[in-house]
Amino acid sequence: MNKIITPPPVNRANPSPMGLMTYGLPTFFLSLCNAGILHVGSAVVLVGFVFAGITQIIAGLLEYPLGDTFGMTAFISFGAFWITLSLLVGFPHSGIIPASSGEEMGFYFGLWGTFCVALLICTLRMTTAHQVLFSSLSILFFLLAFKEFTGSHALGLIAGYEGMFSAASGMYLAVAEIFESSFGQTILPIGKPKA
């Protein structure tokens, strides 16, 4: 009689911290520009394209075999957002295409904000840290949209500082998940998931 051999369970790495960090670091970098502390240059554009764009898409693809529809959708979508934003900023400077109008960019950010609100609703069954992240990200998108529609410098500054908070919340959640994986226990509190 043939004996059935059961393979050992596969211990897979959690791609979520990588995806969260690829959101947090570049968003903080860009928010420094929105707040008037730095100027947008090639470093911001390339970090957005490679780290926030390509690497975040990789994190989303790694969520697929884990069955995490939310993580896959969020990371791949926002990775694509960063690639398009990098191209929207970079292409006009190279003369390839003209810059987008304030109205176009306002709708661009507004539509992303609307999508983010849908993801925020999903976080109501997740941790408090997820809720803080997606709440602050939704606010950031709408601030950027209104700044583009109105041309308000003040709204851009507010978006910059609010974006730094949102970015920090993403990095906090990433580090909390890395610590939990490394130490086998909760080190940084993130709020218990809703039942």
pLDDT tens series, the chain, 195 aa: 556 776 666 678 999 999 999 999 999 999 999 999 999 899 999 999 999 999 999 999 999 999 999 999 999 999 999 999 999 998 888 888 899 999 999 999 999 999 999 999 999 999 999 999 999 999 999 999 999 999 999 999 999 999 999 999 999 999 999 999 999 999 999 998 866
Q: How many angstroms separate the CA atoms of 71 and 168, rounded?
A: 19
User: How many CB atoms are closer than 10 A to CB 100?
Assistant: 16
Supply the pTM of this predicted model.
0.91
Whole-number pLDDT of residue 90:
87
Whole-number pLDDT of residue 193:
85
Whole-number pLDDT of residue 11:
76
**Where does 100-152 have alpha helices with state H?**
102-122, 128-150
Residue with tokens 């693809």: 61
Q: Which H helix or E strand runs over 168?
A: helix 153-183
Residue with tokens 């926030």: 52
Q: How many angstroms separate the CA atoms of 134 and 36, rounded?
A: 24
Whole-number pLDDT of residue 9:
64
Q: How many angstroms separate the CA atoms of 44 and 30, rounded?
A: 6
Question: At how many degrees (to 10) do helices 128-150 and 153-183 cross?
Answer: 160
Q: How many angstroms separate the CA atoms of 124 and 115, rounded?
A: 15
Whole-number pLDDT of residue 195:
63
Whole-number pLDDT of residue 94:
81
